[in-house]
Copies of this chain bind each other. A is one copy, B any other.
Amino acid sequence: MDFISDNAAGVHPAVLAAVVQAAPAVTQGYDADAWSNRLDAAFSELFDTPTRAFAVPSGTAANALALAAAVPPFGGIWCHAAAHIEVDEAGAVPFFTGGASLILVDAPHGKLTVDALDAAAARRRADVHQVQPAVLSITQATEAGTVYTPDEVSALADCAHARALAVHMDGARFANAVAHLGCHPADIANRAGVDLLSFGCIKNGGMSAEALLVFNPALAASLPVRRKRAGMMPSKGRFAAAQLLAMLENGVWLQNARAANAGAQLLARAASTRLLHPPQANELFLHLTPAERALLREQGFHFYDWEQDGPDAARLVVRWDQSPAAIAALADALGRLA
């Protein structure tokens, strides 16, 4: 029973069906096919605003391309100290941006605050010797499994825009955040001031395509050539586009996220005294001693130790396709621990 990662999840049947339907030969290669041509419209409808959508092969690619469009090679990126772009993307940001610097800001539960940004700004002189930030990148849901409210996103975006910074959102688990908040997706994206959004699909029932969305047209201008230059413009673009369209049709993206979140809530209730962060998406961070972790593993549950939260921490991730039986079993096991 795997609670290791949503990266190990299955593909939703609608996504698979869309890929199968795209298999025969078509008239045009690259992005000139009927599927790719519908991407902008489909995301524009979802976010209720003109949107440019680019299919890319990974979340790392979406983040790094988005940031490359928003920061000059000599600029900086404000992000949380635990942000995926800092911790787990192998230096993709300096690579894609041509040398931009991540400027780390810390704050509890993975959530940046305006106060934390103001303090970071105060520590940096606006001269030629110091790297100047050009973009703010926030993660939604965060690396701690928490979720920014629409007001929180707005406040951060206002703080960034007031300093002439663009706003990027790493939405690897954007769907889980929307499912938690029960809001319109635009409420934590374009309507809250986000300029570029990495809209995650793969962890959430997709196969091999993520969507990079741009709400600010000026920031989209360089992306077609940046994507091609990065080897990410597929010669049979229809397969990536078909996956993304299938995620959007009939609300598959939101329905999958709701399922995963609901499973996480069941586990959270069973481990309510052990929570290291408020559980608001599909990830749980729990206080579990090595002995307790060993006990759970003996019972067939798999998950990661989470050293960055200390020696007695573990991370449990609930997938969109996690079986109710496995969730119930783990909830039961957690309950019996104390």
Contacts and interface: CB of A to CB of B under 8 A. Distances in A.
Contact of A129 (B16, B19, B56, B90): B90
A25 B226 CA distance: 33
Interface in A75-118: 75-76, 87-92, 94-96, 98-102, 104
A321 B74 contact: no
A58 B90 contact: no
A30 B10 contact: no
A299 interface: no
A324 interface: no
B90 A94 contact: no
B98 A99 contact: yes
A302 to B, nearest CB: 8
Contact of A91 (B56, B100, B235): B100
Contact of A88 (B7, B88, B130): B130
A64 interface: yes
B123 A208 contact: no
A240 interface: yes
Given A23-B10, A26-B8, A233 B128 contact: yes
Given A74-B90, A74-B91, A229-B74, A30 B7 contact: yes
State which size class the interface on A falls in: 35 or more
A2 interface: yes
Contacts of A96: 231
Given A26-B8, A123-B308, A208-B234, A228 B20 contact: no
B319 A25 contact: yes
A247 B299 CA distance: 40
A98 B101 contact: no
A295 interface: no
A251 interface: no
Contact of A95 (B56, B104, B230): B230
A330 to B, nearest CB: 16
A59 interface: yes
A101 B94 contact: yes
The listed residue with most B CB atoms (<10 A of its CB), out of A2, A29, A56, is: A29
A290 interface: no
A90 B124 CA distance: 12
Interface in A282-302: 302
A311 to B, nearest CB: 11
Interface of A: 2, 4-5, 7-11, 16, 19-20, 23-30, 56-62, 64-65, 72-76, 87-92, 94-96, 98-102, 104, 122-123, 128-132, 202-203, 207-208, 222, 224-226, 228-236, 239-240, 302, 307-308, 319, 321
